[in-house]
Amino acid sequence: MEFLRITNIVDPLFKQMHQLMQDVFPKEEVLDFELWKEPLEDPGIRVFVAVLNGKVVGATEYRYYEDFNVAMTDFTIIGVAGLGVGPFLAENRLADLQELAAANNKDLYGMFAEIYNPYQVEHYEFGGIKPMDPYVRREVLAHLGYKRIDFKYVHPSWDNDGTAVTGLDLCFLPMEKGTNELPTDLVVKFLTRYYTVLPYKPDSWYSMVQDLEAKSRIALMPL
């Protein structure tokens, strides 16, 4: 299996990856094909696919913020069960991020991720791919060390229509064991930066950020 980076929409592997995203994720979570041109060409956004015999069997997108010394996993897709795609993507992603942090003369502080909460919304099917089942994914990510940031999370729809998307938790994987809280300022700055690309945000998102700004620390809870 190969871990290959995609940097433009004309890469034939991207067509496979985009189709895989459409097969797996809800419509409002997937950017249109043409809108991927700028993200893929952005050096700060890292999109990699797991390729086996010329076929995309998994994918992940993530980014590293030098000034925050944290990463964000945008998504992880396991396209085929029984190949070890999940561990392959996670291990290669972490190794890449640790190299980026080292080049920044730091040890990686941790990684954000939005994780589906099937206890809130149960209709996600994720293309019928069992490793992508939200109950399975949640337990796997818990075993990896991810923790739920203790607040009610909403995010703007990637349709950029101002709709609030619920049914997910914002989580964090601390690199240092025993970390049970975060500076709320870090969460606010991260969310503000991350969603700059979407100008149309729901009122509930702004209310959420204001509530966070009123606190200094926020707890990390078990998934």
Say which CATH number the domain at 103 has: 3.40.630.30
48: three-class secondary structure by DSSP? strand
Confidence at residue 103, expressed as pLDDT on a 0 to 100 scale: 97
Residue 200 contacts residue 155 (beta carbons within 8 Å): no
- Where in the chain does DSSP place strands (E)? 2-5, 45-52, 55-65, 70-78, 110-116, 147-149, 155-156, 164-165, 168-174, 181-183, 217-221
Confidence at residue 189, expressed as pLDDT on a 0 to 100 scale: 96
Number of domains in the chain: 1
Tabulate helix, strand, coil % of the chain (nearest 5): 40, 25, 35
Q: What is the pLDDT along the chain (223 residues), one digit of tens a residue?
A: 999 999 999 999 999 999 998 888 777 678 888 989 998 999 999 999 999 999 999 999 999 999 999 999 998 999 888 999 999 999 999 999 999 999 999 999 999 999 888 777 655 555 556 666 777 778 888 888 999 999 999 989 877 888 898 889 999 999 998 999 999 999 999 999 999 988 999 999 999 999 999 999 999 999 8
Tokens of 28: 């409002």
Residues in contact with 72: Cβ distance below 8 Å, sequence separation at least 6, in sequence order: 62, 63, 65, 111, 112, 113, 190, 194
Task: Express each pLDDT in 68-81 by its tens digit.
Answer: 999 999 989 998 88
Confidence at residue 25, expressed as pLDDT on a 0 to 100 scale: 78
Tokens of 110: 């941790």
Domain with 51, as residue range(s), is 2-221
Averaged pLDDT score across all residues of the chain: 90
Residue type, 175: M
- C-alpha–C-alpha distance, residues 153 and 103, integer Å: 32
